[in-house]
Amino acid sequence: MPATAPTYLSPEARFEGKSELPADVWALGCTVFQIRAGLPLFHTFLGGDSRILKATVETFGKLPESWWSAFESRHLWFDECGEPKAGTEAMKTPIKQQLASVGYYDNPPMRVGDSMVEPFGTGLDEVEIELLGDLLEKMMHYRPEDRITIFEVVAHPWFALE
């Protein structure tokens, strides 16, 4: 398995031990989300791989079949179509929905007047939610061959926002 933090591990790295450039694009997507949102996309305190995979499916939907079958604890939260089961803690939380909640759950700042910190409760505007959501969705397609390349990442319109 590649030496990548579990919350940044692409599906192909997690299930197949593959660590190629598309896996780096996935990890970069996780990093961009964390920098912009102020919290990780997949939390490490969730309880290991099964909880990270749960959060991944909640965000991006059902894994491709071979990986879905290998996700042994999936039955705890999802039906066989990848939909959250009623009465469980699983729920769909698409990436754009998560971006729309940025700032909503902020904790009050520890220090006042720090110019490197956005004001308490600052959220993303609709244009940024749409553009950043589009970028992250493209960076985090499950199959590596479906992800955008790093050249397409840096050419994405989100980087031109002011």
CATH of the domain at 73: 1.10.510.10
For the ranges 92-96, 102-106, 113-117, the one whose mean pLDDT is highest: 92-96
Inside any domain, residue 154: yes
The pLDDT tens digits of the residues spanning 66-102 come to 999 999 999 999 999 999 999 999 999 999 999 999 8
d(CA 20, CA 24): 7
Inside any domain, residue 112: no
Number of neighbours of residue 13 by Cβ within 10 angstroms: 22
For residue 45, pLDDT beyond 90 = no
Q: Which residue has the higher pLDDT, 46 or 158?
A: 158
| Whole-number average pLDDT of the chain | 89
Per the structure, the count of domains in the chain is 1
Question: What pTM value is reported for the model?
Answer: 0.88
Inside any domain, residue 143: yes
Number of neighbours of residue 119 by Cβ within 10 angstroms: 8
Inside any domain, residue 16: yes
Q: What is the pLDDT of residue 115?
A: 53
d(CA 98, CA 36): 11
Domain encompassing residue 88: 6-103+126-160
Inside any domain, residue 97: yes
Residue 26, helix vs strand vs coil = helix
Phi, psi of 93 (to 5 degrees): -140, 75
Inside any domain, residue 110: no
Inside any domain, residue 116: no
Query: In this structure, what DSSP letter does residue 78 have?
Result: B
Share of the chain above pLDDT 90, in %: 72
Handedness of CA 28, 89, 68, 15 (dihedral sign): positive
88, two tokens: 């469980």
Assign 49 a pLDDT band (cuts: 50, 70, 90): confident
Q: Which residue has the higher pLDDT, 115 or 90?
A: 90
Inside any domain, residue 35: yes
